[in-house]
Chain A
Amino acid sequence: MVNKNYNFAFLDEGSKREIRRAALKAVAIPGYQVPFGSRELPIGRGWGTGGIQLTLSLIGPDDVLKVIDQGSDESVNAENIKKFVGICTGVKTTTDTREATLIQTRHRIPEIPMTNGQILVFQVPIPEPLRIVEAREEATKKMHAEKDYAPMWLQLYESLVKYKKVTVSSEYPCMAGGRYMMNPSPIPKFDNPKLHRAECLYLFGAGREKKIYAIPPHTEVVSLAFDDVPFERESFKGKKCRLCGSENTYLDEVFDRETGGRFYQCSDTSYCREVRSWS
């Protein structure tokens, strides 16, 4: 049921325009974090407000919206965002990746490759990849301007020296278009290769940090790695989804407290459901 007391897509038109301008600049400069005036929403900052503001600025009556949270269409966060957008737009929602024109996601990229007409909007908690090596925004901005990413490389090197491997499991930094180091949001390393030369447009919104950035289609996105230590994503060798049997997807490890057993299942619930429907 659409609540007509709200403007279409909740935000006022001035807010949408600012976000739209920022999104267009972000597309023109892949990986660069464009600042914007993040608005108040009826959701606390840190709960996906950057992604929601992008979605609300993008969405139109003809769109079909899908929202996923850690791959799941049915989680509380995903369901509530769908309800909220539905109340103030009336758009159709779906769990089918292929049917959606606009997908908002928290921490996953769908297993089904997205097409050129689709847009994936990421909810980003910390957009700045250099934050772990430099606390000051003023300093990280200068580092990006000068393409001075040595402290980040040193961080990875120290990780290798201490633990014999790079211990960053999610938010694994990458270079967009050969120029900007960017945080792909807390997606698992498993999803990083999907950013490289993708067909679809990726938009990243950080509401609390007030930044928007983007990766246009067919853009080179390379995860950081050394010549002698290549980038490696999570391996699920020998494991498969207990529900659909997939061996090539990102799997969640589930622990049964009563039996003490561990099992694995697809993180992308709609993909898992689709695979099961084939048999």
Chain B
Amino acid sequence: MISTLSKKHNFSIVFNSQKIFRLLLEAMSNPARVVSISKYASKLVGEHPAFLAVAMTLLDNEVSFHTCKNQSLSDEILSLTLAKSEPLESADYIFVSNPKDAGYAIENAKRGTLADPHKSATIIIRNDDPPVCRLTLFGPGIEDRITVHVTQTVRDAIVMRDGQYHEYPEGIDLLFVSSMGELYAIPRLTRMEAE
């Protein structure tokens, strides 16, 4: 008897990863610019396809991750990428599926050192609420200043991060991803103008 095997995910590790990386690069280079990874995230199944798409693009057995008590997400990322699941304090990539965990994650994520600022965490936060706050941002990648409408989650995350008073180049880079696959970045040098 011949049976047909089909793959659970249709995500191309070569071509879809490349597309998502370029979108991530565009987002990091142009803070607060919204890019859409939905076309590629839709090739992954599960509760958090956008998270999985980012994980498939950046993670492998060379780096570690943390999912803030979301065991099913942790299992899925582990099986797809072979990255190491590690405690929040030492994880390279932190996936926050419940925005209520964002504050704790930002407070405790590794910030790198003055000599090795790249050994810092990137926090990817799920961001599905409607935008209710107006922020003015500035920093590298932004021409002068930019005013954006963001969710309370985003505002709170930036306030929390800036409140840590990391000594640059130490810092944490933030990515916000909606379940629709809309993504934008707030790297460590992007600052919020006083309200």
Contacts from A to B (Cβ < 8 Å)? 7-9, 13-14, 16-18, 20-30, 32, 34-35, 57-61, 116-117, 119, 141-142, 144-146, 177, 179-180, 197, 201, 216-220
The reply to whether B18 and A60 form a contact with Cβ atoms under 8 Å apart is: yes
The reply to whether B187 and A141 form a contact with Cβ atoms under 8 Å apart is: no
* Contact size range, B: 35 or more
B183 contacts the other chain (CB 8 A): no
Q: Which of B21, B24, B169 contacts A32 (CB 8 A)?
A: B169
Chain B residues within an 8 Å CB radius of A144: 115
Q: Which of B14, B117, B188 contacts A7 (CB 8 A)?
A: B14
Q: Which of A21, A32, A57, A197 contacts B117 (CB 8 A)?
A: A32
Chain B residues within an 8 Å CB radius of A217: 29-30, 140-141, 143
Q: Which residue of B lies closest to A144 (CB)?
A: B115
The reply to whether A28 and B168 form a contact with Cβ atoms under 8 Å apart is: no
Q: Which residue of B lies closest to A58 (CB)?
A: B22
* With known contacts A24-B28, A27-B29, A216-B28, A60–B19 Cβ distance under 8 A: yes
The reply to whether A20 and B117 form a contact with Cβ atoms under 8 Å apart is: no
Chain B residues within an 8 Å CB radius of A30: 140, 189
Give bound CA distance, A109 to B140, whole Å.
20
Give bound CA distance, A98 to B182, whole Å.
28
Give bound CA distance, A247 to B162, whole Å.
48
The reply to whether B57 and A216 form a contact with Cβ atoms under 8 Å apart is: no
The reply to whether A28 and B173 form a contact with Cβ atoms under 8 Å apart is: yes
* With known contacts A23-B25, A24-B28, A141-B115, A177–B63 Cβ distance under 8 A: no
CB contacts under 8 Å to A, within B180-195, are 187-189
Q: Which residue of A lies closest to B63 (CB)?
A: A21
| A192 → B minimal CB distance (Å) | 17
| A138 → B minimal CB distance (Å) | 10
Q: Which of B18, B60, B142 contacts A14 (CB 8 A)?
A: B60
Give bound CA distance, A25 to B113, whole Å.
14
Q: Which of B15, B21, B57, B188 contacts A28 (CB 8 A)?
A: B188
Q: Which residue of A lies closest to B113 (CB)?
A: A145
* With known contacts A17-B58, A201-B25, A27–B142 Cβ distance under 8 A: no
The reply to whether B140 and A219 form a contact with Cβ atoms under 8 Å apart is: yes
The reply to whether B57 and A29 form a contact with Cβ atoms under 8 Å apart is: no
The reply to whether B118 and A20 form a contact with Cβ atoms under 8 Å apart is: no
Give bound CA distance, A216 to B120, whole Å.
19
CB contacts under 8 Å to A, within B1-33, are 13-15, 17-19, 21-22, 24-26, 28-30
Q: Which of A14, A23, A28, A35 contacts B187 (CB 8 A)?
A: A28
CB contacts under 8 Å to A, within B115-165, are 115, 117-118, 120, 122, 140-144
Q: Which of A29, A145, A220 contacts B115 (CB 8 A)?
A: A145
Chain A residues within an 8 Å CB radius of B117: 29, 32
CB contacts under 8 Å to A, within B68-89, are none
Give bound CA distance, A18 to B168, whole Å.
23
The reply to whether B17 and A13 form a contact with Cβ atoms under 8 Å apart is: yes
| B189 → A minimal CB distance (Å) | 7
Give bound CA distance, A220 to B141, whole Å.
10
The reply to whether B140 and A218 form a contact with Cβ atoms under 8 Å apart is: yes
The reply to whether B14 and A8 form a contact with Cβ atoms under 8 Å apart is: yes
Give bound CA distance, A35 to B119, whole Å.
11
The reply to whether B114 and A146 form a contact with Cβ atoms under 8 Å apart is: yes
Give bound CA distance, A115 to B176, whole Å.
26
Leading 5 A-B pairs by shortest Cβ distance: A145-B115, A145-B114, A219-B140, A28-B187, A216-B141
